Amino acid sequence: MAIGIDLISFYTPPFFFSLDDLAKQRGVPAEKYSTGIGQKEMSMLPPDEDVVTMGANAALQILEKTERNRIKALIFATESGIDQSKSAGVFVHKLLDLPKDCRIIETKQACYSGTFSLRAAMGLVSLEKDSQVLVITSDVARYDLHSAGEATQGCGAVALLVSEQPRLMQIETESAYISEDVMDFWRPNYRQSAIVDGQYSTRVYLHALNECWKKYSELSKRLPEHIHQLCFHLPFTRMAEKALKQLFRCKEEFQSRLSKIAPGLLYNETIGNSYTASLYLNLCSLLDFNEDNLEGQRVGLFSYGSGFVAEFFSGIILKGYNKHLLKEQHTRLLANRKRLNYQEYLDFYHFALPQDGTSFHTPYFTDGYFRFAGLDAHKRLYEKAQKEA
């Protein structure tokens, strides 16, 4: 049974902050960000958006190309949850008018849970003929102002439709995974921003990649030349270069691989880190911008979630995949974003909701199809925006 990614789409809010402007405010050369970590811009979350609205906006583009009554589960992967009990996916289910006979669950393990959700979706599809599962990865990367992580902020969502006989990529059965208890990144419930030991986290990431790569090679009996393309979890864009150096010590092979992954980095360098969505944003960019025909090529994907859990797996790009991409919508979304000035960046960053049950209506900012309308007696309120789908 061939199971995999039938469709893929992403969404990011219509606002960004330039890292050139951040560099000026922090008194550092712009190259520290553009060259040092490979970032140009970071998407910024307005007051009337959150992981729910981003996820719903990402998924809406997919639903226009499938039969909604075939979707039998919605798995929502995030580390930016908006409730300790209720899944963000339940809110999305209502916004998207999905069928009632649909399982819904939220998964969490730093940036890895999107990959677990994809694997779980494949299992569910295998149990029910002609069914589909909607996987949504949606996150807000947030760090303290003036911290080393500030320049790696961002936000976005990627939606994946998982089905039998997919149109984009068949996921292969072999995968290698590893888990260890480390404290390289964490976000306590009482904090709005994450705590990260960046250098340590990078070392753990590369250790996990090395271990998963070796195990995958042993399981699959495949050599490096059998992996035609590579996608990585990208906490910052230059992490891909570090990952390649870990895997390919030969200078010629490294340079060849570096040019191959370049198309897959374009979305990440303008959106920033999107945690669970990051790996799949890399895949989406690869599919949208690679000028070669990728039909029949094997893509290796490395998923890393701090703390940590990691997995390396692969998929085959299918014939006719490029007929089902949403590149035009994606590029238009990015082209229409508004550039924030420094004060607007701070206003968005410091925005906070009341926590005493007071009714609150969020001001109108977004151009998306859905918005977070506010709070009433501690209940989150969502609505379809004025924009018509």
Looking at 290-375, list the stretches that DSSP marks H as alpha helix, in order from N- to C-terminal side: 327-335, 342-350
**Is 241 one of the annotated active-site residues of the chain?**
no
Q: Which of 41, 49, 79, 106 is catalytic?
A: 79
366 touches 62 (CB < 8 A): no
Rounded to an integer, what distance in angstroms lies between the CA atom of residue 29 and that of residue 307? Answer: 32
Q: Which of 41, 93, 111, 330 is catalytic?
A: 111
Q: 162 forms bridges with which residues in the sheet? A: 5, 133
Which strands make up the sheet holding 71-77, listed edge to edge? 103-107, 71-77, 132-141, 154-164, 3-11, 169-179, 309-317, 298-305, 229-232
Q: Which of 41, 102, 231, 233 is catalytic?
A: 233
Rounded to an integer, what distance in angstroms lies between the CA atom of residue 280 and that of residue 269? Answer: 14
Q: Give the residue carrying structure tokens 């949403």.
A: 326
Rounded to an integer, what distance in angstroms lies between the CA atom of residue 17 and that of residue 40? Answer: 9
**Is 79 one of the annotated active-site residues of the chain?**
yes
133 touches 73 (CB < 8 A): yes
14 touches 338 (CB < 8 A): yes
Give the residue numbers marked as catalytic: 79, 111, 233
